[in-house]
Structure 1
Amino acid sequence: MISLLSATIFILSLNVITCLYAEWEEVKPYCGARPNPQCCVSRDDNCFMPYYDSRCYCDTFCFRGIDNHDCCPDHDAVCEGKKTTVPVTAPPKSCNCIDASTGREYSLGESFKRDCNLCRCITLGHQTTLSCEEDLCINNPDLISHINSQQPYIGWTATPYDKFNGVKVKDALKHYLGTIPDRSLRTMVDNAPHDTGDYYKMENVDSFDVRTHPPWSARIRGIRDQGKCGVSWALSTVDVAADRLSLVQNITIPKDPFSVQNILSCTDQDAKQGCEGGRIAYAWGFIKDRGVVTEDCYPYESGTTGNIDACKFHLSENELNMISQHRKLKSIKCPSNTNKGEHFNFGPAYRVRDEALSIKYEIHFRGPVQATMRVPPEFFLYKSGVFRCGGSSYQNQNPRYADLAAYHSVRLLGWGVSTDPSTKQPESYWIVANSWGTGWGENGYFHVRFGSCEIEETVIATYGKSTDVLKKKSRRQ
């Protein structure tokens, strides 16, 4: 049987017609174009020719029946010597497919998009079939309705976004997230609190937000849009580094953000899989060993182009030595040719213990941190409220989507407490900065429940030190 349907395709509508396969098949050689032997006298699965999206056969055991066939169109003439009269005209109108949802008619071979899925008018035997992919689309109306029908008990609301129109969840998991899980990060040395008394006091601090904390309120970076490229591993790294550096006294942080493209293009190939993600350990290692320039020096392009070009910013051996000695680079040559670009480097990153109290202490006394979370399909639709993984139960009702998830790196900026609408009990949540622009979620931010989506398992930070700070410290010593 000719296999025209992949595993992800199913028959949405079936139009039984009166015309037989041979009456409208396009006339061109199949068996007649095979190298000798053109026909095979026994059953031979290798005796085939390409046929549309599949293959047809020229062996004795190919089958032609009223409902189905897998013989090539010219099999009878070439292999059996039968006379055939096949017109070269297009199929009659009665052989077309009709989309039951719109009433529109499509000719054989014609295709169209239904949201994110491709539909095509194809044939099986003497029948025409409108076949469509059945991948889950982000803006799936059934998914949105399922989530919002559970209000207020689910705790968060969903909405479609124009940026995700026509996008499959499986593609978005590759191109809108971008963090490859790395369990080796859990072996990093964690950074203990300076004062154990302050550490335990965090148990009684119900809410905190670095954006409104008086000494820091004007120093925290806002929301960026990574576009259609999985770069959260690098973007969250440079933004946390910028936040931490901005909180150091006597440091003038540039208004321009740090360049994510600098990391994307100039890290080792082992660090990344193109626009399908990368490893945050490499990003932190990069800014420690090589530093990072500002955005105006090396502008971000991958979110628009969908790929990562070769590195355009190169450091000499002398410059690398200067970085290792915590000496500031002067007169850097920016890919953008600006003369305003600056270069910064940092101390090593460290892990924050994977429990809420340690993370609260770290944010409260040292600033924003980087966290990696597991993202299910519903997360793309988040509008407001406290998100939690698995809360909508959609995947339980649709097992085919149960394994649709990937990892994303974000910034934790604080925490708060609200009332769980299902239990009426207090529930704590993290305040998180995403990287999909200000048009998503709550102006680019979202809340996620403590302990949900693996949000606390991999939390990384760095000391807010720059070359300038280290130089001043050396002089004092």
Structure 2
Amino acid sequence: MDDTSIMTRSLLVIILISLLLNIIDCRYSEWEEIKPYCAIRPNPQCCTSRDDDCFMPYYDSRCYCDSFCFRGIDNHDCCPDHDSVCEGKPAPPPPTPPPRPPEIRSCYDTVTGRNYPLGQSFLRDCNLCRCVTLGYQATLSCEEDLCVNSPDLLSHVNNQQPYLGWKATPYDKFNGVKVKDALKHYLGTIPDRSLRNMVDNAPDDPNDYFRMDEVHSFDARTHPNYAGKILGIRDQGKCGISWALSTVDVASDRLALVQNIQHRNEPLSVQNVLSCTDPEAKDNCDGGRVAYAWGFIKDRGVVTEDCYPYESGTLGNITECRFHLSDSELQNIAQHRKLTNIRCPSRSNGEHFNFGPAYRVRDEPLSIKYEIHFRGPVQATMRVTPEFFLYKSGVYRCGGSSYDRQNPRYANLAGYHSIRLLGWGTSIDPRTQQQENYWIAANSWGNGWGENGYFHIRFGECEIEETVIATYGKSTEVLKRKNKRQ
């Protein structure tokens, strides 16, 4: 064996012995602080000279209380309390604990620039923060939900101008509102793919249908045949009722066009539909299904807003129906007879209207353009992502800001919203400099949102053309005449 191998083995032995001594020393120190040994031996506690029976159990070995146990600082097997019990030497003082750091009793928030005392909660935009203790320190514990008026989301959209094609702005109504709550309380349509199985309505004149390809703009609000007959913007408040509100507003528009009513200011009652629809059709302010709203106004009709005013937008869920129909009245509705002497919840005079069945418009632009141009506004359901709440102007694209792709934890934040389509137009796509087509849509978040309550959305975006519904809007008298001819 060469000298190098011998030195290597010797070094390993020394290292192992050193580690073993450190372990023994650590065990000894812990044990020395907390356990008596010689002090609890039966008499005699200590023994003179060498006495192999003068021991106490020590872990899986022994320690001794005789005078022979100490044979040098590095060579002894004495019990930890041998010196104090058998030699009368004072016991070593217990180790001094490390000093406690000073307690911090408040939290500083860099966002608000304020100090908050321990235990206090506050809102940072839409997220709840609380000053809590962590060890001897105070720290802020905050929720991390995406807020509608998030400065990060807002700047992400507007920093992409002019190529994005639309601008964003914060709205006071969304201050302190989380996106997940806005999707629940400001939209409200539960997706229902069964609507795609509804019978669609073919154009009356195929030539008119194909001519729609040459009509590049149309706005029901200003068209001579429609002007003054189309409802303006309503505000659903903090209640997810777009499924019902868009239904009664499209029905109201169609009714005004059939009856040729100028300057129609009295809409149909959404509260009538919301509170009186079958319970399985809805979750009150948490959403409902479009098909049930159309089925309700076909089977039971609907009264005007002054007869049954809308209250859920401010009061929240109102489950009690305050407009009831007798069996004879339901029979009259089925026979398209107009109801008289109705009992309005508001105790004012109001009217009741019947409607025929709703139908689906084929999910392609020419059919939708034809329907709006010749028959009136339609209902459409769109997929909404967080940035839509901030729309101010321009032609909207669903998810066009790519915010969800850059922030994956927000990728699944989406909901469905039903609105009215009133027309269409063209503009120049800022990215391609090519002509693009857009729909003119009426939202239901009040006149202070978007372009006075309206918005433009590019053809084919956000599933906007997949579920388009309309009704003939025939009045009771028209339905009666049609029924007699049959």
2:418 paired with 1:386: no
CA distance in 2, matches of 1:141, 1:253: 41
- The one-letter amino acid paired with 2:381 is T
Q: Where does residue 367 of structure 1 map in the other structure?
A: 376
**Match of residue 293, structure 2, among 280, 283, 296:** 283
In 2, Cα distance between equivalents of 1:342 and 1:212? 27
Q: Offset of 1:223 from its aligned partner?
A: 0.3
Corresponding residue for residue 197 of structure 2 = 187
Q: Which residue in the other structure is 2:210 paired with?
A: 200
Distance 1:253 1:212 in 2: 12
Q: Which amino acid aligns with 2:451?
A: E
Task: Point out where structure 1 has 5 or more consecutive residues left out of the alignment.
Answer: 1-91
After superposing the two structures, state which structure 1 stretch, 179-188 or 254-263, moved more.
Answer: 254-263
Residues 103 and 136, structure 2, Cα contact 8 Å, conserved in 1: no
- CA deviations on 1:405-428 (whole Å, 9 max, x unpaired) are 100000000000000000000000
Shift of residue 252, structure 1, vs aligned partner = 8.0
How big is the shift at 1:387?
A: 0.3
Per-residue CA deviations over 1:76-126 (Å, capped at 9, x if unaligned) read xxxxxxxxxxxxxxxx97232121334422222111001000000112333
2: CA distance, partners of 1:232 / 1:113: 29
Note if 1:293 corresponds to 2:272.
no
**Aligned position for 1:126:** 136
Aligned twin of 2:46: none
Q: Residue type matched to 2:125 in 1?
A: D
Name the aligned partner's letter for residue 476 of structure 2. Answer: T
Matched, 1:417 2:426: yes
Aligned to 1:72: none
Contact 1:245 1:253 in 2 (8 A): no
Separation in structure 2 between the aligned mates of residue 218 and residue 320 of structure 1, nearest angstrom: 32
Return the letter of the residue paired with 2:373: H
Q: Does 460-469 or 448-457 show the bigger shift? A: 460-469
- Pairing of 1:1-400 with structure 2 (within 5 A): 94-249=104-259, 255-338=265-348, 340-400=349-409
State the Cα RMSD in Å: 1.5
Local SS of the residue matching 1:128: strand
Q: 1:94 to 1:252 in 2, by over 3 A?
A: closer
Deviations, residues 416-445 of structure 1 (Å, cap 9, x unaligned): 000000000000000000000000000000
In the alignment, residue 220 of structure 1 is paired with which amino acid? I
Residue matched to 1:438: 447
Q: Is contact 1:374–1:405 with CA below 8 Å preserved after alignment? A: yes
**CA distance in structure 2 between the partners assigned to 1:103 and 1:202 by the alignment:** 58
Q: Distance in 2 between matches of 1:123 and 1:230?
A: 39
Q: Distance in 2 between matches of 1:167 and 1:317?
A: 44
Distance 1:318 1:148 in 2: 58
SS in 2 for 1:265: helix
Matching residue of 1:427: 436
Amino acid paired to 2:203: P
How far off is 1:316 after superposition? 0.1
Bigger Rg, structure 1 or 2 = 2
For the 8 Å contact 1:246–1:253, the answer to whether it is kept is: no
**Could you tell me which amino acid in structure 1 is paired with residue 325 of structure 2?**
L
Aligned partner of residue 300 in structure 1, secondary structure: coil
How far does residue 309 in structure 1 lie from its aligned partner after superposition?
2.8
Q: Aligned partners of 2:157, 2:264: CA distance in 1, in Å?
A: 42
Q: CA deviation at 1:394?
A: 0.9
> In structure 2, how many angstroms separate the alpha carbons of the residues matched to 1:102 and 1:454?
40
Secondary structure (helix, strand or coil) at the match of 1:241 reads helix
- Structure 1 distance, partners of 2:282, 2:485, is 40
Using structure 2 for the length normalisation, give the TM-score.
0.77
Task: Give, in whole Å, the separation in 2 of the partners of 1:222 and 1:255.
Answer: 8
Residues 178 and 233 in structure 1, CA contact (< 8 A), matched pair in contact too:
yes
Distance 2:482 2:201 in 1: 20
Partner of 2:468: 459
- What is the rounded CA distance, in whole Å, between the counterparts of 1:472 and 1:250 in structure 2? 17
Name the CA distance, whole Å, in 1 between partners of 2:373 and 2:111.
54
Q: Could you tell which deviates more after superposition, 183-192 or 96-105?
A: 96-105
Query: What SS does the aligned partner of 2:286 have?
Result: coil
Say which SS state the counterpart of residue 426 (structure 2) adopts.
strand
Higher helix share: 2
Contact 1:371 1:458 in 2 (8 A): yes
Secondary structure of residue in 2 paired with 1:422: coil
Uncovered stretches (5+) of structure 2, i.e. residues with no partner: 1-101
- Percent identity, aligned pairs only, is 77
| Residues 296-324 of structure 1 deviation map (CA, whole Å, 9 limit, x = unaligned) | 10000000012123100000000000000
